Structure 1
Amino acid sequence: MNAYSFNKCSISLVVLISTGFLLSQCGNSSAEKSHMDETPVEEEIHYETVKVTASRPTSELNLPGELESYYETDLYPRVSSYVKALHVDIGDQVKKGQVLAELEAPELTANLTEAYSKVKAAEAVYGASKGTFLRVLRTSRTLGAISPVDLDVSRTKAVSDSLAVVAANAHYNSVEQLVSYLKITAPFTGVITDRRLSPGAFVGPGGQNGVPMLKIKQLDRLRLRLAVPEAYLGDIRRGNPVQFSVRSFPNQTFTGHINRIANNVRPETRSELIEIDFQNKYGKLKPGMFASARLPVNSSVQGSLYVPKSAVISTLDRTYVLKLIAGKVVKITVQKGDDSGGQTQIFGDLKPGDIVIRSASEDLADGATVKAQMIN
């Protein structure tokens, strides 16, 4: 065998060995892939849970609230008519009694003229019957000149005509009152915050589906409403000072006093509503602003309950946590209090040691069964 033949055989041997190795690897990969495909995948979601804990009592209670105007109202027309003119728009300052809009209703003006004519006609008839009665009365003083029956008839006629005058005046006053409704005036001093209609629009009962013409709010005096948890109601007194702040002025503190207490505990949140009046002289604060109020409380109050901030869900309807009972979700309505160190103070139908979902989700329905994993 020459050198060329030897090298050729060696190359063939190497190719065969390499091919066998690759086939072996492919077989192993296929087997491993088949084995992986047969392994079940864990698709269940485990929710982290924590225990409700009690903390030491606080000497100051932080509560969220919302500023509201002391007076606010929607202005609706009282009679069916058309908008003739609007004298104000959004943002305008108005005084009590100021004419804001004028309406037109030709039929009401015609009715007023007709009612006035009826008053004058009734007064003329009464004047004639009254004069007749007085003449008959004077004549009756002559014995035998007027019979008693004629005297009674003239008296009755005069009384009847006088009552007709009263009725005509009452009708005229009612129509005049309706005509006065064609001018929309400001019920109090404030600011126009909304305008919905324009001149030419039909308004009144059934007009524009009951849309208000204007909205007016008082700005120089505001209300701050707070829901105080039941545990602290013993410390709430009318006249107590309350300090609060708003996001628009984070470095400024405002002070008011408790003016009204509802004297009623809401069963769904176990809290009582209080109101603080604030004299907004310079118009710095606006209705609708969210406020954070601080109320001094007695340190002898029992410890509060705390959960992570992520455990509390706040919606337009309620604020709640997801409590687990025997592996099932139960929505518990709560009232939020102070926030500190990533924990939120809550008040509701809970006690220390209850288990709640750490990162609550609105997708979990009441009564849903979940897998839980306790986090220390």
Structure 2
Amino acid sequence: MKPIRLQRRTLGLVAVIAPLLALFIYVALRSGPLAPIPVTVATVESRPISPALFGIGTVQARYSYKIGPTFAGRIKRLDVDVGDRVIPGQVLGEMDPVDLDKRIGAQQAAIRSAEAALQQAESKHSFALAQAKRYALLFDVRGTTEEAFATRQQELAVAEAALGGAREDVARLRADLEALRAQRNNLRLTAPAAGLVVARAADPGTTVVAGQAVIEVVDPAALWVDAHFDQNGTQGLATGQAAGIVLRSRQGQILRGHVLRVEPLADAVTEEMLAKIRFDTQASPLPPIGELAEVTIRLPQLASAPAIPNAAIRTIDGRRGVWKLTDGKPEFTPVVLGQSDLDGRTQVKNGLAEGDRIIAYSEKTLTANSRIHVVDRIPGAVR
């Protein structure tokens, strides 16, 4: 009787455990770590795309003038403030001349004294020249001695030397005066061109050094965007292309511009190309210098070619490719990519054909041995 009861108990336990084990295996294979990975699938289509470049930059002034003194000194006055418009030659402020005006006055007095000395030297020279000529005539007719004639010639030479020295003194003093006047004029801070005052780095009474900027003026009619573009796909970037500019402070408003210049030097650290984007019309009100801006440049439409979603592109072991469905299993296929558009499509030059099915999104990272399950969409994924 006992063996029969043990067999019944064993069979009962097996009857209970077997379904539970089967249920566990089923759950593990369907929703556990061994479950298939949900994926969405896209079909390679041959279609034309309109490639576009997207860049980030800042608003900068093409022409900027930093105005300051040519030598160290103290600011006496400033006549403009930030936001004021100026015209060429307008006096923006002045440095303290200290003793420069007195030095100019002393130099003018020295010139007057030198000019008086010059007149005296000219008179002496005229008298010595007349005496030398008279004694030369007398010497020719034996009316004077050779010694007297030589004395008059020597006096003429001395008078000529004195006259030359007096003239050089006057010229030197006048040059010094012009230098002092130029130095005095340099104390006036003048606008070199028409523009807008955007910065005032010091106030009256402040001592500044030579070359230090006191006032910064920019030309508001010549603003541009210093834009940065990823080097991938910038082959078609060229001067003259139309551009759309969206300022950070004016979201939704697209300002028109064009590529003024593509910089010959790229940024080797960020791997970006640099370009200057100029506004077609002056923005009103003027955007602040340094404001962030988004730039979009649309390139000419390309001919039809196989195109895939950007989300499907993967990089494995340094190779770019996609997961292609082959007999329902994922297979990594390297591809050669072309240009992209802003709608998330990239043309494929080699590696795929029209009609191929590829994995666009996957819930987890895929491998060649991954089990997959095709779904319409994955929660949280962008369609």
Fold match by TM threshold 0.5: yes
Q: Secondary structure at the match of 1:266?
A: coil
Q: Distance in 2 between matches of 1:182 and 1:220?
A: 29
Q: Note if 1:168 corresponds to 2:173.
A: yes
Q: Distance in 1 between matches of 2:197 and 2:309?
A: 44
Cα deviation, residue 157, structure 1: 1.9
Cα deviation, residue 285, structure 1: 2.9
Q: Distance in 1 between matches of 2:49 and 2:231?
A: 14
**What is the aligned length?**
263
What does the per-residue CA deviation read over 1:256-292, in whole Å, with 9 as the maximum and x for residues that have no partner?
Answer: 2322332233322343322133352644333222221
Kept in 2: contact 1:62–1:338 (CA 8 A): no
Counterpart for residue 34 of structure 1: none
Cα deviation, residue 324, structure 1: 10
Counterpart for residue 180 of structure 1: 185
Match of 2:61 among 69, 85, 103: 69
Q: Secondary structure at the match of 1:139?
A: helix
Distance 1:223 1:253, change over 3 A: same
Cα deviation, residue 168, structure 1: 1.0
- Summarize the alignment of residues 1-376 of structure 1 with structure 2, pairs less than 5 Å apart: 59-142=51-134, 143=136, 144=139, 147-205=152-210, 212-278=213-279, 279-280=281-282, 282-297=284-299, 375-376=365-366
Q: Distance in 1 between matches of 2:308 and 2:95?
A: 58
Which has the higher mean CA deviation after the structures are superposed, 136-145 or 287-296?
136-145
Kept in 1: contact 2:58–2:292 (CA 8 A): yes
What letter is aligned with 2:199?
D
Cα deviation, residue 61, structure 1: 0.8
Cα deviation, residue 147, structure 1: 3.7
Distance 1:140 1:231, change over 3 A: farther
Q: Distance in 1 between matches of 2:311 and 2:206?
A: 54
Cα deviation, residue 212, structure 1: 4.0
Distance 1:265 1:70, change over 3 A: closer
What letter is aligned with 1:290?
L
Cα deviation, residue 84, structure 1: 2.5
Cα deviation, residue 185, structure 1: 1.7
Counterpart for residue 356 of structure 2: none
Q: Secondary structure at the match of 1:61?
A: strand
Kept in 2: contact 1:243–1:255 (CA 8 A): yes
What does the per-residue CA deviation read over 1:311-353, in whole Å, with 9 as the maximum and x for residues that have no partner?
Answer: xxxxxxxxxxxx999xxxxxxxxxxx98767x9x9xxxxxxxx
Q: Distance in 1 between matches of 2:133 and 2:278?
A: 74
Q: Which runs of 5+ in 1 are unaligned?
A: 1-55, 309-322, 326-336, 346-373
What does the per-residue CA deviation read over 1:284-309, in whole Å, with 9 as the maximum and x for residues that have no partner?
Answer: 3332222211223356699999789x
Kept in 1: contact 2:52–2:342 (CA 8 A): no
Distance 1:134 1:218, change over 3 A: same
| Aligned-residue identity in percent | 19
What letter is aligned with 1:226?
A
What does the per-residue CA deviation read over 1:162-208, in whole Å, with 9 as the maximum and x for residues that have no partner?
Answer: 12222111211111122122221222222222334333333335xxx
Cα deviation, residue 57, structure 1: 7.5
Counterpart for residue 313 of structure 1: none
Distance 1:131 1:216, change over 3 A: same
Distance 1:177 1:299, change over 3 A: same
What letter is aligned with 1:213?
V
- Aligned residues: CA RMSD: 3.7
What letter is aligned with 1:165?
V
Q: Distance in 1 between matches of 2:49 and 2:217?
A: 43
What does the per-residue CA deviation read over 1:140-170, in whole Å, with 9 as the maximum and x for residues that have no partner?
Answer: 3331456433322222222222122221112
What letter is aligned with 2:62?
Y
Q: Secondary structure at the match of 1:159?
A: helix
Kept in 1: contact 2:247–2:292 (CA 8 A): yes
Counterpart for residue 47 of structure 1: none
Distance 1:226 1:124, change over 3 A: same
What letter is aligned with 1:138?
A
Distance 1:110 1:57, change over 3 A: farther
Q: Which has the larger radius of gyration?
A: 2
Counterpart for residue 30 of structure 1: none
Kept in 2: contact 1:119–1:165 (CA 8 A): yes
Q: Distance in 2 between matches of 1:338 and 1:250?
A: 21
Q: Which runs of 5+ in 2 are unaligned?
A: 1-47, 140-148, 319-339, 347-363, 367-383
Q: TM-score, normalised by structure 1?
A: 0.59
Distance 1:298 1:338, change over 3 A: closer
Kept in 1: contact 2:81–2:200 (CA 8 A): yes
